[in-house]
């Protein structure tokens, strides 16, 4: 007994002493080498390490394990400390911005009080604005005077009270926010301002911001016609800039400006700009033909170095777009400070943040593409689409005669020289004569959220696209294109798979490759059908972004998809004109009852009841443009096909727009609209009652037994609940899914009916369901093990368990030729 206690005492002493092992520098170096290769070595690897390194032979394997645990803990603490330091720097800088904003608001209050006291005197002593004498471009002193006046006015807007700024809705400051964004109220023209923090040095930020075409998608070209150095080390530039019109219903704008770059005493960089007009003086700009001359009031960028690195940026955009030169229905587009903020001010800040995170290695892209290459693809898609919408004469575009109806405009470009070195490619223009044809149209939409419409067009291409036309478009990449197809051949349904390529920091823009699987041009080609590919850019699909334009642009590509691949973009653009919500508008996660509203037939009932108020009143303008290549001898045929196709697309979009218009749903349903038909209520009751009968459990709470309450609880259930019909010699087809089910399948109720059960289950899931099918038919239910299924977009979805039960009607008979209920528990995207 004493001997046993003695041995135990010795063992305890050895264990205690082993807790305090001191490693020599050579031992630490050896362990660090292994840690760099494998931070978490296995037991076998640790034993191998002891055998291979004699200097570690006196250390227990358990202590080696403890050393690696401590090393990983120190590494985690170091990374966390670094992250907290970064957040602290951001919060410090943001706090500085907020304090400055508070000071500015206090000054604004004092300024308004002063103005109120002397308003009558100012009104009585109004004097016309003195006209400055004409200042010659060859007179640097005169231009410097204009530049200094521009600098003072810009700084008063950026940090002072020259404009009555109102914080933009949804733009809250914080360490991860884009910054502080404000828009003007009751000022001449439209203006927007933003303050933000980026991790780039001021000189780099200034270089990026001066390259306006790289971040301002509406900028067609910018020409620096003269550069004049100043005595203080700055530069004065005379700039001519052309911008695209956003729609076919208005003319494009151009600007003739003076840009002044200088530095302040505190080390800040300033880039300010304003238009040169008869009132400001200065040289006269180039004449315009296809453009309306707009005015840029003092605007620019204030870039201040930040303690600890990085920069604080103040951006001001202030323009007068000559609103009276556009049709009255489009004037809200040119009078909205929110739209200006989204298109210019926020776009500049987002672009800089994107480059900063790419430079710091915070963003990883797949496919081996460099971020600059992916940005170039996005710019080329936007530029090609804008060129198609505007159809400038100096690019070689000319108007083609109509067929007597003015709803679709056809323009052609037969100037091969215009395509060299642009987003087009010489391979698109046949060597024996041809060119590019564009069919475009614009229409006004009522009560249709732009983001929701574009998201639907992106996810459900089969609702509007003609795959025969897609095949013809893809033929421009081949030496021997197909003959002209007839529009809307109504055949060969196929699925699309969206392959993500890149996205911006805040996910407001997506670049992706769309694979159209197994398309055939004619019935004889079905056996030889091959996949087609589109490069697609989708932006503005966040319904909470105020004033944001939603856009879907795509171009056919081949399998090689080289960095200099030819692109011929087509697509949709939806621009909000005004928004007047009566009550809370629809949320971003809303899925609508498209199944009933898209039904076509004399018996279809599209109203939701008389006297119901509209919960959302939104007007927007939709612009559609499709481009095709043609050979000279087929030009008229291609034009006829393109005109007919665009009319068909317009009809499809109108049908979809009518279906998703929130005004067709009762506002009492809240942000997530429910399928409230009597059939839906009955089916919900059958699903829940059958679950209780077969499993003995409750699918929903016991207090939700009334029709509307039961349907609402089923619709908002956290697990994915679906119902599919079973028919003889046919695959099970989904007929209903709750909100979680639609989210899991990444679809809507209208497209749900095209999804078959065996298409979403993997092989193991299908085998498991087949094995349990007889049990389901006899006992009424079965549990399937955890597995993987696939959404309609091709994304894998994991689930912990699936419950399948037989749905019966009120008389306990199999409902509607057998119906199965399914519930996927705790699902998530892999």
User: Does residue 413 carry a pLDDT above 60?
Assistant: yes
Contact of 614 with 580, CB cutoff 8 Å: no
Report the alpha-carbon distance of residue 113 to residue 795 in Å, rounded: 59
Per the structure block, which two tokens stand in for 423? 């987003």
- The span from the CA of 680 to the CA of 595, in Å, is 11
Phi, psi of 198, rounded to the nearest 5 degrees:
-135, 155
- Residues contacting residue 105 through CB under 8 Å, at least 6 positions apart: none
Residue 555's pLDDT is: 93
**Lowest-pLDDT choice from 134-138, 394-398, 658-662:** 134-138
Q: What is the pLDDT of residues 264-303, one digit of tens each?
A: 988 899 999 999 988 888 888 888 888 999 999 999 999 9
Give the model's pLDDT for residue 132. 47
pLDDT tens, position by position, 345-389? 999 999 998 898 888 777 766 566 788 888 899 999 999 999 999
| Beta-strand runs (E) in 25-175 | 165-167
DSSP states along 96-113: HHHHHHHHHHHHHHHHHH
Q: What is the pLDDT of residues 605-619, one digit of tens each?
A: 333 333 333 444 578
More confident residue, 420 or 786: 786
Cα distances (angstroms) measured from residue 633 to each of 220, 469, 641: 32, 19, 14
**3-state SS, residue 325:** helix
- Asked whether the beta carbons of 424 and 437 are under 8 A apart, the reply is no
For the chain, how far is it from start to end, CA to CA, in angstroms? Answer: 59
pLDDT in tens, 233-273: 899 999 999 999 999 989 999 999 999 999 998 889 999 99
3-state class (DSSP) for residue 806: strand
Calculate mean pLDDT across residues 332-350: 90
- Name, in order, each residue with C-beta under 8 angstroms of 750's C-beta and a sequence gap of 6 or more: 460, 463, 594, 595, 598, 659
The string of DSSP codes covering 638-697 is HHHHHHHHHHHHHHHHHHHHHHH-GGGS-GGG-SS----SHHHHHHHHHHHHHHHHHHSS
Q: Which residue has the higher pLDDT, 353 or 402?
A: 353
Task: Please answer whether residues 33 and 39 qualify as being in contact, where contact means their C-beta atoms are separated by less than 8 angstroms.
Answer: no
Distance CA 829, CA 288 (A): 54
What pLDDT, in 10s, does the model give residues 76-117? 888 888 878 777 777 777 777 777 767 666 666 666 655 665
Structure tokens at 344: 């210019």
What was the pLDDT predicted at 172? 55
CA angle 624, 628, 632 (to 5 degrees): 135
* Residue whose structure tokens are 């006046």: 149
Does the structure show a pLDDT above 90 at 191?
Answer: yes
Reported as a single tens digit per residue, the pLDDT across 461-487 is 888 888 778 777 777 666 554 444 444
Query: For strand 550-557 and strand 530-539, is the pairing parallel, antiparallel, or unpaired?
Result: antiparallel
């Amino acid at each position: 007994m004493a001997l046993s206690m003695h041995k135990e005492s010795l063992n305890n002493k050895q264990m205690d002493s082993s807790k305090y092992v001191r490693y020599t520098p050579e031992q630490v170096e050896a362990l660090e080498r292994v840690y760099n290769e494998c931070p978490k070595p296995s037991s076998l690897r640790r034993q191998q390490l002891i055998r291979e390194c004699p200097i570690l032979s006196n250390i227990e394997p358990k202590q080696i394990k403890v050393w690696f645990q401590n090393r990983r803990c120190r590494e985690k603490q170091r990374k966390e400390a670094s992250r907290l330091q970064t957040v602290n720097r951001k919060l410090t800088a943001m706090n500085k911005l907020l304090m400055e904003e508070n000071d500015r608001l206090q000054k604004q209050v004092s300024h308004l009080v002063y103005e109120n006291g002397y308003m009558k005197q100012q009104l009585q002593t109004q004097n016309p604005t003195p006209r400055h004498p004409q200042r010659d471009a060859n007179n640097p002193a005169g231009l410097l005077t204009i530049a200094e006046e521009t600098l003072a006015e810009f700084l008063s807007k950026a940090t002072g009270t020259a404009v009555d700024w109102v914080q933009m809705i949804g733009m809250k400051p914080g360490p991860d926010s884009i910054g502080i964004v404000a828009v003007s109220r009751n000022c001449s023209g439209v203006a927007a301002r933003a303050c933000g923090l980026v991790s780039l040095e001021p000189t780099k930020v200034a270089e990026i911001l001066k390259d306006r075409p790289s971040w301002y998608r509406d900028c067609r070209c910018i020409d620096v016609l003269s550069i004049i150095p100043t005595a203080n080390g700055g530069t004065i530039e005379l700039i001519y800039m052309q911008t695209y019109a956003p729609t076919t219903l208005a003319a494009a704008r151009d600007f003739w400006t003076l840009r002044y770059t200088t530095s302040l005493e505190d080390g800040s960089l300033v880039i300010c700009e304003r238009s040169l007009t008869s009132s400001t003086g200065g040289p006269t700009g180039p004449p315009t033909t296809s453009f309306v001359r707009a005015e840029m009031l003092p605007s620019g960028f204030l870039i201040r170095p930040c303690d600890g690195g990085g920069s604080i940026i103040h951006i001001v955009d202030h323009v007068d777009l000559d609103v009276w030169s556009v049709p009255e229905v489009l004037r809200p587009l040119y009078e909205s400070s929110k739209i200006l903020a989204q298109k210019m001010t926020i776009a500049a800040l987002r672009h800089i943040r994107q480059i900063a995170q790419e430079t710091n290695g915070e963003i990883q892209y797949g496919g081996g593409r460099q971020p600059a290459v992916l940005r170039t693809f996005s710019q080329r898609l936007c530029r090609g689409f804008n060129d198609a919408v505007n159809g400038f004469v100096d690019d070689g575009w000319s108007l083609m005669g109509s067929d007597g109806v003015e709803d679709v405009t056809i323009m052609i470009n037969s100037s091969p020289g215009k395509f060299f070195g642009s987003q087009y490619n010489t391979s698109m223009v046949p060597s024996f004569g041809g060119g590019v044809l564009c069919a475009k149209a614009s229409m006004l939409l009522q009560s249709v959220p732009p983001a929701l419409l574009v998201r639907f067009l992106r996810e459900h291409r089969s609702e509007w696209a003609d795959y025969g036309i897609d095949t013809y478009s893809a033929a421009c990449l081949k030496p021997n294109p197909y003959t002209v197809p007839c529009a809307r051949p109504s055949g060969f349904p196929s699925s699309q798979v969206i392959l993500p390529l890149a996205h911006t920091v805040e996910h407001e823009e997506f670049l992706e490759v769309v694979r159209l699987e197994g398309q055939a041009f004619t019935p004889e080609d079905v056996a030889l059908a091959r996949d087609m590919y589109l490069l697609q850019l989708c932006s503005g699909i966040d319904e909470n972004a105020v004033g944001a334009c939603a856009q879907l642009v795509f171009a056919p590509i081949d399998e090689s998809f080289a960095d200099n691949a030819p692109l011929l973009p087509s697509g949709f653009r939806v621009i909000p004109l005004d928004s007047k919500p009566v009550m809370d508008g629809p949320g971003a996660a809303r899925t609508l009852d498209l199944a009933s509203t898209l039904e076509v037939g004399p018996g279809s009932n599209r109203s939701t009841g008389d006297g119901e108020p509209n919960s959302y009143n939104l007007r927007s303008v939709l612009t559609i443009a499709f481009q095709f290549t043609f050979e000279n001898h087929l030009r008229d045929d291609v034009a006829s096909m393109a005109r007919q196709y665009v009319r068909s697309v317009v009809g499809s979009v109108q049908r979809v727009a009518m279906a998703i218009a929130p005004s067709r749903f009762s506002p009492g349903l809240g942000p997530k609209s429910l399928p409230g038909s009597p059939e839906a209520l009955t089916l919900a009751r059958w699903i829940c009652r059958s679950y209780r009968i077969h499993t003995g459990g409750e699918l929903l709470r016991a207090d939700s037994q009334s029709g509307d309450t039961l349907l609402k609880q089923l619709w908002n259930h956290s697990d994915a609940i679906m119902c599919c019909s079973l028919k003889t010699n046919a695959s099970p087809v989904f007929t209903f899914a709750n909100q979680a089910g639609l989210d899991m399948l990444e679809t809507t109720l209208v497209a749900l009916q095209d999804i078959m059960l065996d298409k979403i289950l993997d092989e193991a899931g299908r085998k498991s369901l087949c094995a349990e099918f007889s049990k389901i038919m006899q006992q009424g239910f079965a549990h399937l093990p955890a597995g993987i299924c696939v959404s309609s977009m091709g994304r894998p979805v994991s689930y912990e368990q699936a419950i399948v039960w037989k749905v019966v009607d009120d008389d306990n008979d199999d409902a509607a030729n057998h119906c199965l209920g399914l519930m996927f528990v705790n699902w998530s995207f892999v």
